[in-house]
Amino acid sequence: MVTFIVRRLIATIFLLIVVSMITFAIFFLIPRLAGQTTYQLATQYVGRNPTPAAILDIETKLGLNEPIYVQYGRFLKALVFGEHYTSGTGSTYCPPPCFGYSFKTQQPVWPQMVSDMPVTISLAIGAAILWLVGGVTIGVISALKRGTIFDRFSMGIALAGVSLPIFFTGLISLELFSYKWPIFPNVTFVPFTQNPALWARNLVLPWVTLAFLYAALYARLTRAGMLETMSEDYIRTARAKGLQERTVIVKHGLRAALTPIITIFGMDLGALLGGAILTETTFSLHGLGLFTVLAVQNQDLPEILGVTMLAAFFIVIANLVVDILYAVVDPRVRH
């Protein structure tokens, strides 16, 4: 198992390097190939009516006029060893993993992402627990009570959950429970360490909204998996051997049906940790998702690069965890 993990970690590093190269190429190389000059690129980071000298100064300061491989090399070096950036009166140290220096805010990118992480992690983990527990439970019950009113009703709700976009359900929930009946007023992020009760209260609406979408998907997946599994021969064998129905369902049925759920859960959670863009935007939560939106809006290349790398990291790590969990859940993998 240790060899397996080490091998996957090494592969992860190579994968991240490839991701960084592709991202770097998309934002630094392709515009040049399309005819954009570095002078034009620098113009985006100067105020209105800039003088040519000011644009040239910015071009030099940001290193945009250097060859692409030099810029990429500097990026990798900062990532591994950190970097010092001048703030005019002194220098600001950006410790590794330093993702560069924002063209717009003139601040290192990494500390900004770190300060946004608690929001996204709080949102993603809380919602993930809700949708996993809720979705799987509903899916199992629906499968076992196939064709009943509960099954039809829950699957109808699930269909609505999958169909309705978050910015719709989010706005509805805000309108009803924050503005009209202020049960959850003033939804703003309060750090857990500062006030756990307020942290939870202010995240209830985003959690539920986000979980509603995913729970619906998980309920349908679980139901389909359970229906298939429960019709397998080994389930009939287990029942024939006189095992309790609960044991048959949980130990033999659900366990087998969980394998695809774990796969998709890892992917979903990893992607969400990289930023729940719609939920954060709808609820005005300043996490990595909103950070991404702003980075793109501002054409702030170091920020875009940083958040892409971080999102890729989360997804790769989540996949690694999924692979390990596979071995736990499915004995066939261990062998």
Partner 1 sequence: MKRRGFTGLAAVGAVATLALAACGGGSSSSSTGGGGGGGASGPSGFNAAVNGVVNPSNQKSTGTLSFGLSSTPDSTDPGNTYYAFMWNFTRLYTMPLMTYTSAPGPAGSNVVPDLATAPGTVSDNGLTWTYHIKPNVKFEDGTTVTSSDVKYAVERTFDRTLFPLGPAYFTFLLGGNAAKYPGPFKDRKKNLMGLTAVDTPNPTTIVFHLAKPFADFNYVAAIPQTAPVPPKKDTGANYQLHPMSTGPYKFQSYQLNKQLTMVPNTFWNPATDPQAKQLVSKVTVTMNMNANDIDNRILAGDLDVDMAGTGVQAAARAKILSSNTLKQSSDNPISGFLWFAYLNTVVPPMNNVHCRMAVEYAANKVNLQTAYGGPYAGGAIASTVAPPNVVGYKKFDYYEATTKPQGDPAKAKEQLKECGHPNGFNIGVSYRSDRPKEVAAATALQQALSQVGIKTTLHGYPAGTYYANFAGVPKYNHQHDIGISFGGWAPDWPDGYGFFYYISDGAAISPAGNTNISELNDPTVNSLLTKFAATNDATARNAYTSQIDQQVMKQAAILPAVYAKSLIYRAPNITNVYVQRYYGMYNYAVLGLKS
182 binds partner 1 (CB under 8 A): yes
Only segment of 13-21, 134-142, 238-246, 283-291 that touches partner 1 (CB under 8 A): 283-291
49 binds partner 1 (CB under 8 A): yes
Give how many residues touch partner 1 by CB under 8 A.
51
Q: Among 222, 223, 219, which residue's Cα sits nearest to residue 259?
A: 222
175 binds partner 1 (CB under 8 A): yes
Taking the least distance from each CB to partner 1, the nearer of 3 and 297 is 297
Taking the least distance from each CB to partner 1, the nearer of 73 and 185 is 185
The CA-atom distances, in angstroms, between 229 and each of 251, 255, 261 are: 12, 9, 13
Which residue of 33, 47, 147, 242 would you call a contact of partner 1, by CB under 8 A?
47
- Give CA–CA dist 50/34, Å, rounded: 24
Only segment of 38-46, 234-242, 243-251, 307-315 that touches partner 1 (CB under 8 A): 38-46
CA angle, 268 as apex, 262 and 271 as ends, to 5°? 140
Which residue of 2, 33, 89, 194 would you call a contact of partner 1, by CB under 8 A?
89
CA angle, 148 as apex, 142 and 150 as ends, to 5°? 55
Tokens encoding 299: 């054409």
Taking the least distance from each CB to partner 1, the nearer of 36 and 148 is 36
Only segment of 55-63, 72-80, 317-325, 326-334 that touches partner 1 (CB under 8 A): 55-63
88 binds partner 1 (CB under 8 A): yes
CB of 57 to partner 1, least distance (A): 5
Taking the least distance from each CB to partner 1, the nearer of 12 and 43 is 43
193 binds partner 1 (CB under 8 A): no
Yes or no: say if 142 and 223 are a contact pair by the CB < 8 Å rule: yes
Taking the least distance from each CB to partner 1, the nearer of 42 and 238 is 42
- Give CA–CA dist 80/27, Å, rounded: 21
118 binds partner 1 (CB under 8 A): no
Which residue of 26, 57, 327, 330 would you call a contact of partner 1, by CB under 8 A?
57
231: buried, middle or exposed (CB in 10 Å: 19+, 13-18, 0-12)?
exposed
Distance of CA 302 to the CA centre of its chain: 19
Any idea what DSSP says for residue 275? -
Yes or no: say if 191 and 118 are a contact pair by the CB < 8 Å rule: yes
Contacts of 186 (CB under 8 A, 6+ apart): 178, 202
39 binds partner 1 (CB under 8 A): yes
- Give CA–CA dist 292/278, Å, rounded: 11
Which amino acid belongs to residue 172? I
Strand partners, 91: 86
CB of 51 to partner 1, least distance (A): 6
Residues that bind partner 1 (CB under 8 A): 36, 39-41, 43-55, 57-58, 60-61, 86-90, 92, 105-107, 112, 115, 171, 174-175, 178-179, 182, 185-186, 188, 281-284, 286, 290, 294, 297-299
